[in-house]
Each structure stands twice: as C-alpha cells, then as structure tokens.
Amino acid sequence: MSRSSRAAVHRHGSQDLDVTVVDVADPAPGTVLVRMGASGVCGSDRHVLDGDWTLPSPTVMGHEGAGTVEAIGDGVTDVAVGDHVILSWFYPCRRCTACLSGKSYVCTGSRSEECLLPDGSSPLTLDGERVFPYLTVGSMSEYAVVPEAGAIRIPDEVPFDVASLIGCSVATGFGAVVNDAGVEAGTSAVVVGTGGVGLSIILALRLVGANPIIAVDLSEDKLAAAREFGATHTLVPSDGLAEEIAAITQGGAAYAFEAIGRVQTIESLPSLLAPGGKAVIVGLPPEDSPVSIDALALAESGKSLIGSNYGSTVPGRDFPRLAALYLAGRLPVDRLISHRIGLDDVNEAFDAMRRGERARSVIVF
C-alpha cells in the first residue's frame, strides 16, 4: 500500500516548483520510509531549478532533510520505527573499495546522483508517471523512502529544523574545514560567499580556533551575519581584495574557502593565500565550468587547490558528531535558520535566495 504525499516537484525547463501530491511506495527491502520533519532550501536545489546541472525529471526536490522513521523494509537493522534520522544525499553502497577503506564519500557504487535506490528503482510516482527523489532524498515532501545507509539516527532532542541543516550545509562546511582542509587553531582563513554553506564554514572555523576569520560577500546583510557567526573581518569583493587580505593576515591566508560556486571566484582563490596555503572549492559551479589557474605560480608558491564534495562527510560518523556538538552548545546551527516556511512558500524562498537574501530557509512540515 502506497501513500499520498504533498511534495515540491520540478520539471526540466521550469524554474518554479509545483507543490502537488505524489505517491510514495512502501519501503522495499533495505530501505526506510521517513515522515519528514524539516527540509532546508539549499543552493544546490537552486542549481537544479536554474538548469545548471543535468538530472532526471520530474524530480521531488530537497536533499537536506530530517524526520522520523515511519516504517522499515525487510532486513533493515540500523534504524527502527520512531527513530529520528538525518538523511544523507550521498548514500554509500558499503561494498566498493572506497567504502571498505572508510572513504564512503568517494563511493563508486552509490546511485544517489542518478536519484535512484540501490536496486535502480524510484519510490515515487505522480499520476502513474515515474518521479525521482533529488539525490535519492527528495526531502521537500511529507514522506520519503531512502536507503538504510542514507538515514542516520540522531538523538530525539535535536529539533528537525536544526537536524535538516546538519544533513547538508553544516556537514559540508564543517567537513571542508575539519575533514578536507584540516585547519589548525590560530591559523588564518578566508571564506568567500557567506550563504548557508559559507556561514557553516565560519561556524566550524570558530570551533577549531582559526584566527583571523575573514568573510567576503557582496551582501552587507550576509556580512553582518558572518560577524555574528565568528568572522573577525568582513570585506566586500574588490580588485584590491588580495591586498586587503594580505594586510590582515601578514602576507596571505593559510586557508581559503569558496562557497558560491562561481568560476571567477574559484580562479582568484590562490591569490588570497600565503605561500604554502590551501584553497578549497566547496561551492559547486554549473556543469562544464573549467577554471584557469597559473600553474607555475601555484607550484612555485607551494599552494594547493582542492575540491571538497559534501565535506568528505562520513554520515554515520559525522552526523551524530555534529548533533552532539549542537546539543553541547558548541555549534549553534539554529542561528543559521533565518526563515521557517511552509511547503507552499518554497518558490518564494528560491527567489529570495537568487536575490542573495536569507541565510537559510527551512521548510517545516
């Protein structure tokens, strides 16, 4: 027996979501049915709406979600009915070499990017038509069916709105700082772009004791938020940005993070670094966006430029860690939430994001 679920559906060619009713199948073996508590509205969803990335269509959007396990399929042992879970938008296959080496973030067996369950099916239909859950999450829906490996149990005390953000922006930002860059206490860092992801990077930088923490954004509102989150300096981009950063850091930053997904900004990252510094690409650009780097200058100065996807998060390890940091009062994820909205207001939230407004909108069910 399947169930009806109000959901935000995207079709190729449209920038708007249609809030309508889809059909969600019972959980097949190895999968779980989740009643959604909250779903964040993330920049990656906007990339899809704006046609930046190729995806199957139609799609139930949302990949930053948390909720309660309502039912489990045969063989599921990791979670039980009633558990609170955070959904992961990159579920591991648990079988490939990467997974077996503890590097599930580069799993080669996951079908997340195809928006499919491990057996190649989708749990969603709309008037009989197959619909795909975005990144095999589809959290902008009252119900979702996800693989067991993509639903991570967290303590019940963590509110769903906070938990949803741990599932993408917070894990991405924290992981970029801790898992990928390995930022040490007392070292300098620049964050370019301070939306939900950039602010999450700043929260993590403060937690690990980076100093100074320099935030760069076009929006004065975003920079004000960045200061509240722990940025010690804020700058609007200009031709003299590298010099301004060199002046604050006595010669360039040890770490630089890009959290917009913009080619020109990524290209400029190495110029913000001190010799030996590390630049990290966190924001995801549109498909086919080659960047041009002065290889000789990079090599001679011993700088590095690395990519960070989902902060190299191992969800089963990192989500409970982040939830515990939140509960201990050391990672104030709740402060990222600027707007709590209903599912019907989802298009307005994306429009506000396109105007560079709002830290993070969260859909509450």
Would you please indicate which residues are annotated as catalytic (active-site) residues? Answer: 42, 44, 47, 63, 168
Q: Does 44 bind ligand APR (CB under 6 A)?
A: yes
H-helix or E-strand containing 263?
Answer: helix 263-268
User: Contact with ligand APR (CB under 6 A): which of 245, 259, 279, 314?
Assistant: 259
- Asked whether the beta carbons of 202 and 172 are under 8 A apart, the reply is no
Q: Does 349 bind Zn ion (CB under 5 A)?
A: no
Q: Does 139 bind Zn ion (CB under 5 A)?
A: no
- Asked whether the beta carbons of 303 and 270 are under 8 A apart, the reply is yes
Q: Does 44 bind Zn ion (CB under 5 A)?
A: yes
User: Contact with ligand APR (CB under 6 A): which of 99, 163, 197, 253?
Assistant: 197
Kindly indicate which of the ranges 77-85, 90-98, 278-286, 290-298 contains the residues binding ligand APR, using the contact rule CB under 6 A.
278-286
User: What six digits make up the tokens of 360?
Assistant: 């993070």
Q: Does 168 bind Zn ion (CB under 5 A)?
A: yes
Kindly indicate which of the ranges 191-199, 202-210, 293-301, 328-336 contains the residues binding ligand APR, using the contact rule CB under 6 A.
191-199
Residue of 203, 227, 212 lying closest to 311 (CA atoms): 203
Kindly indicate which of the ranges 195-203, 247-255, 272-280, 300-308 contains the residues binding ligand APR, using the contact rule CB under 6 A.
195-203
**What is the footprint of Zn ion within residues 78-117 (CB under 5 A)?**
none
Q: Does 361 bind Zn ion (CB under 5 A)?
A: no
Which residues have C-beta within 8 Å of that of residue 105, sequence separation ≥ 6? Answer: 90, 98, 309, 310, 312, 313, 314
DSSP letter (8 states) at residue 182: -
81: left (phi over 0), alpha (psi -120 to 50) or beta: beta
Q: Does 262 bind ligand APR (CB under 6 A)?
A: yes
Query: Which one, 179 or 194, has the nearer CB to ligand APR?
Result: 194
- Taking the mean position of all CA atoms in its chain, how far away is CA 325? 18
Which residues have C-beta within 8 Å of that of residue 204, sequence separation ≥ 6? Answer: 173, 174, 176, 177, 178, 183, 331
Query: Which one, 263 or 324, has the nearer CB to ligand APR?
Result: 263
Q: Does 164 bind Zn ion (CB under 5 A)?
A: no
DSSP letter (8 states) at residue 106: G
**What is the footprint of ligand APR within residues 208-247 (CB under 6 A)?**
216-219, 222, 237
Residues at the contact surface with ligand APR, assessed by CB under 6 A: 42-44, 47, 169, 172, 192-198, 216-219, 222, 237, 259-262, 265, 282-284, 353, 356
